[in-house]
Structure 1
Amino acid sequence: MRGAMTGTAGTPRRPLKRGWTTGSCATAAARAAYELLITGSCPAMVEIALPGGRRVSFAVAMHETSTASATAAVVKDAGDDPDVTHGALVKATVQRGAEKTGVTFRAGAGVGTVTRPGLPLPPGEPAINPVPRQMITAAIDEAAIALRANGDVVVEISIPGGEELARKTLNPRLGIIGGLSILGTTGIVVPFSCAAWIHSIYRGIDVARAAGLPHIAGATGSTSEKAVQQLYGLPEAGLIDMGDFAGGMLKYLRRHPVPRITVAGGFAKMTKLGQGLLDLHSRAGEVDLGWLADTLRDAEAPDALVSLARGANTALQVLQEAERIGFPAGEIVARAAWQTARRALGDNGIALDVAVFDRDGRLVGQSSGPAHSPLPRKRR
């Protein structure tokens, strides 16, 4: 059956459940709070339009009123995606605004504020992204027409506990201070799509470009990130948590260049990059030990090391043996990874190098020096 999943014993399992973005939840909460403000009655369910036109309904988890405002909340359901905001309460407080101001936005407790240039919103603005703002405005405009009421309101979005949750995200590094971002371009969370991670990579590059940083580094994990930061003395804003998405980072840089980029990672991940993989996750492919053996052979590695690589259990085993006999396997892998990264980056003048680290963060390979020119242009 299309879309079905099977377990280890071949038993069918249900398809992964999709969820709702914080932007969708904030929109539903704002629509409910607006109706409560205007009518004095809060709906138990509220319907909103997603950017693609689909209409969906949300249950209102709580509501309350004061003399000047109304508040409603929706519980974030991320479906089967491991989203840090799953189960969070997304609240909207709505109060009347000045005449002809439309919908304006504020960051409440647990929602961050932008403090650095380079993001879709200028510094000082609440971290409620453009598409969620459009969704909220459209929902309130729709309700205002239906209720024959004024749509000039101030909408404050808050997420209890959001400041603590934000520490598990890249917001602090991006200069979003005080809480989470209200995100979403489609309104829907696709499980394990990693869209939020890729979004963070893009925004990290944007922030680095806006700050005029001459050198940034994308790392596969925390060990290589700390190591490459120490190696080059990079500021935090120059560190891109690319994870397994080397291709996504490099292709974005191709369109939005910086003067210099370092790709940093462990021996196994950089071996995959050297093989030609741009998605370094195990789902995309394993370390090809046959390729590694052939590459070491072409670099005139001892026959014993080549044989060991061909029959090794892991790339780590190969690295450990290479270091024991003093052969620079890390350098060989770094040069191969550089070739793959250079092709993805294109011939656009960006200086590129690859740094390979072991599990302790020790540099074991670097691609022929700290900076490189682009690949030479082909002669016509």
Structure 2
Amino acid sequence: MGKLKRSRKNSDLRGGYTTGACAAAAARAAVRKLVSQAHFSEIEIELPNRELATFELARLDGIDEVVAGVIKDAGDDPDCTHGLEIQCIARWKNSPGIQLIGGKGVATVTLPGLELAVGEPAINPVPRKNIYEMAELEWLKASALLREEIGIELEVCVPGGEEAAKQTINDRLGLLGGISILGTRGTVKPFSTSAFAASVRQSIEIARANGREHVVLTTGSRSEKAAMKLLPELSDLAFIQAGDFIGVGLRAAKRYEIQQVTLVAMIGKMAKLVSGRMMTHVSGHAIDFGQLSALAREENIPQSVCEQISSANTGRHVLEMVRKLNAQSYLNRLCREAHEHANQYTTEALDIQVLLIDFDGNLLASFPRFSQKKIQ
């Protein structure tokens, strides 16, 4: 596993490394062993962010075909790739230069819209460059005569990558057969939001590149499942779990010239959207129950209930109170407020619709009014 020198308090969360950094380390180790036949147990690389990191090798075998492996360590923010062995196989080839290919457990690009061409292994540009750089450091140590006559093929493999990919949205993005080799810095910050936000933007980019003009931003798996039932005419590619990053999704939709966006949320996230908060994480801004109470008064909710709303504990609590009154106008008003904020956020560049669902996925309210299309 990688060891990066840094000052760290005991209370700090431990950082980790990207799949790209692990692949670069494995590539440098494999080429060093192929060229020198030396024996060693760790390898140092320069990460894309230009920090130095040392990785322990889980595997280093072979003579004319060398397999090097590094265990992916995601630190205190483990994901589905945490603990996987990222391997690189280095072998001789008959033409000069270094060639990079994807092996078992690494996804293949099958849809347009990514930075990589269809048919390429899903090794993103930054880690791809880092792999080449680290491999070339060792390849340059070989004799000039050898480098003129032959070259090296590098095959990145991830045993278990196909199974791990089932926990990602790779399949929906047309990345088939394994995981992606990712990472723009080389390091992983615990509980960082950058990777999730990037996946939201990428999902929208791919949807647009494949002809989708209508996308659906949901806040999680339950809201996505409900959205798919409400909008069965749309393909899976149109449904994007934006989580807490509704704002990121809206900006990306505007950037990639999506025509129509449907936002689907339950009451907790909806209450934050009503306040214009496009970052809806539970640890962020709390729900403004005073605002929810004020809107209730404007929709002629009884004063006693308005007072209860102002001191409610959760969005679910508010929903339970107003549903007893059959206050449809109030629920529609919440959608309208969220719609207005989303419209302002995108400077009215998109056709936006907001849907509020309950915890069982049933439609409670909408703005503008939602009419479900029927599939023949």
TM-score by length of 1: 0.90
The 1:42/1:128 distance shift into structure 2, 3 A limit, reads farther
Q: Is the 8 A contact 2:218 2:239 kept in 1?
A: yes
Counterpart pick for 1:126 among 121, 126, 129:
121
* Whole-angstrom distance in 1 between the partners of 2:370 and 2:351: 9
Deviations 1:330-377 (A, max 9, x none): 2111111112211222232x2111111110001111112349xxxxxx
* Whole-angstrom distance in 2 between the partners of 1:351 and 1:98: 56
Deviations 1:89-141 (A, max 9, x none): 111001123424x3322222211111111111111111111111100111111
The 1:157/1:4 distance shift into structure 2, 3 A limit, reads closer
Q: Is the 8 A contact 2:217 2:241 kept in 1?
A: yes
The 1:179/1:327 distance shift into structure 2, 3 A limit, reads same
* Whole-angstrom distance in 1 between the partners of 2:353 and 2:364: 14
The 1:132/1:319 distance shift into structure 2, 3 A limit, reads same
What is the match of residue 169 of structure 2? 170
Deviations 1:190-245 (A, max 9, x none): 11112221121111111101111121101001111111122122211001110111
* Whole-angstrom distance in 1 between the partners of 2:189 and 2:81: 14
Counterpart pick for 2:43 among 22, 43, 46:
46
SS of 1:104's partner is strand
Q: Is the 8 A contact 1:174 1:204 kept in 2?
A: yes
Could you list the structure 1 runs, at least 4 aligned residues long, displaced by more than 3 angstroms after superposition.
Answer: none
Deviations 1:280-319 (A, max 9, x none): 1111122221111112212333323312211222221221
Q: Is the 8 A contact 1:23 1:182 kept in 2?
A: yes
What is the match of residue 156 of structure 1? 155
The answer as to 2:366 corresponding to 1:366 is yes
Gaps of 5+ in 1: 6-12, 372-380
What is the match of residue 28 of structure 2? 31
Counterpart pick for 1:80 among 76, 80, 83:
76
Q: Is the 8 A contact 2:35 2:138 kept in 1?
A: no
SS of 2:244's partner is coil
What is the match of residue 204 of structure 1? 203
Superposed counterparts of 1:295-314, under 5 Å:
295-314=295-314
What is the match of residue 64 of structure 1? 61
SS of 1:247's partner is helix
Amino acid at match of 1:47: E
What is the match of residue 332 of structure 2? 331
* Whole-angstrom distance in 1 between the partners of 2:161 and 2:206: 22
* Whole-angstrom distance in 1 between the partners of 2:368 and 2:264: 14
Q: Is the 8 A contact 1:267 1:330 kept in 2?
A: no
* C-alpha displacement of 1:34: 0.8
Q: Is the 8 A contact 2:48 2:127 kept in 1?
A: no
* Whole-angstrom distance in 1 between the partners of 2:93 and 2:214: 44
Backbone CA RMSD of aligned residues:
1.9
What is the match of residue 147 of structure 1? 142
Amino acid at match of 2:222: T
* Whole-angstrom distance in 2 between the partners of 1:130 and 1:189: 17
What is the match of residue 316 of structure 2? 316
What is the match of residue 224 of structure 1? 223
Q: Is the 8 A contact 2:205 2:252 kept in 1?
A: no
What is the match of residue 95 of structure 1? 91
* Whole-angstrom distance in 1 between the partners of 2:29 and 2:225: 45
* Whole-angstrom distance in 1 between the partners of 2:85 and 2:24: 13
Gaps of 5+ in 2: 1-6, 372-376
The answer as to 2:282 corresponding to 1:265 is no
What is the match of residue 184 of structure 2? 185
* Whole-angstrom distance in 2 between the partners of 1:142 and 1:216: 45
TM-score by length of 2: 0.91
SS of 1:334's partner is helix
Q: Is the 8 A contact 2:19 2:183 kept in 1?
A: yes
* C-alpha displacement of 1:4: 7.9
* Whole-angstrom distance in 1 between the partners of 2:78 and 2:71: 15
Deviations 1:68-98 (A, max 9, x none): 4211001111111132211111110011234
What is the match of residue 343 of structure 1? 344
